[in-house]
Amino acid sequence: MSRSIPTAVTAELTLRMVVDSDRTIEVPCEFEYRSDEPYAVRATFRTGAADIEWMFARDLMLEGLQRPSGEGDVVIWPENHGDVPLVLLALNSPTGQAVLECDRAHVEHFIRRTFDIVAVGEEGSTVGVDRCIDRILSEGIKEG
């Protein structure tokens, strides 16, 4: 019996938005990784009013498990609160900023599952750049 390789993995997690040193607000979040976007992780934050989506590099998330990673819009870093290992995620946009925390084990489990779809270093082999270029050359660019 052959094992089918998934084309996407998701993780439903509850992140905590840091309001101040003593207070957090729970934010449901779905992380999604797909083989057709092998460099990216999509994070969908479910705020109740509307879903808010962010995309960032899987490598950024992977590195952020070990050391501060990223600059600008998304920064991820490990931190311990007492004996609880966490991952913090800082999001910056023109309309505001937020720092969210999550149990590191949940993020590590999600990242390990993404390797079942596309191994680290193999992302380029799944993109199909040659196929895309061939299609553009054969069909031309359509203006909309």
pLDDT on residue 122: 60
> Residue for token digits 């900023």?
97
Per-residue pLDDT of the chain (144 residues; tens, 9 = 90+): 445 555 899 999 999 999 988 899 999 999 999 988 889 999 999 988 889 999 999 999 999 999 999 988 999 999 998 899 999 999 999 999 999 999 999 999 999 999 988 767 566 655 555 555 666 677 766 665
pLDDT on residue 72: 87
Domain regions of the chain by residue span: 8-139
The dihedral built from the CA positions of residue 10, 11, 12 and 14, taken in this order, carries a sign that is negative
pLDDT on residue 138: 73
Nearest to 74 by CA among 95, 98, 52, 50: 98
Segments in 1-128 forming alpha helices (H): 58-64, 104-115, 123-127
Segments in 70-118 forming alpha helices (H): 104-115
Is the CATH code 2.30.40.10 the one for domain 8-139? no
pLDDT on residue 117: 87
Report the C-alpha dihedral over residues 57, 62, 66, 71, rounded to 10 degrees.
0
Q: What is the pTM of this model?
A: 0.79
pLDDT on residue 67: 97
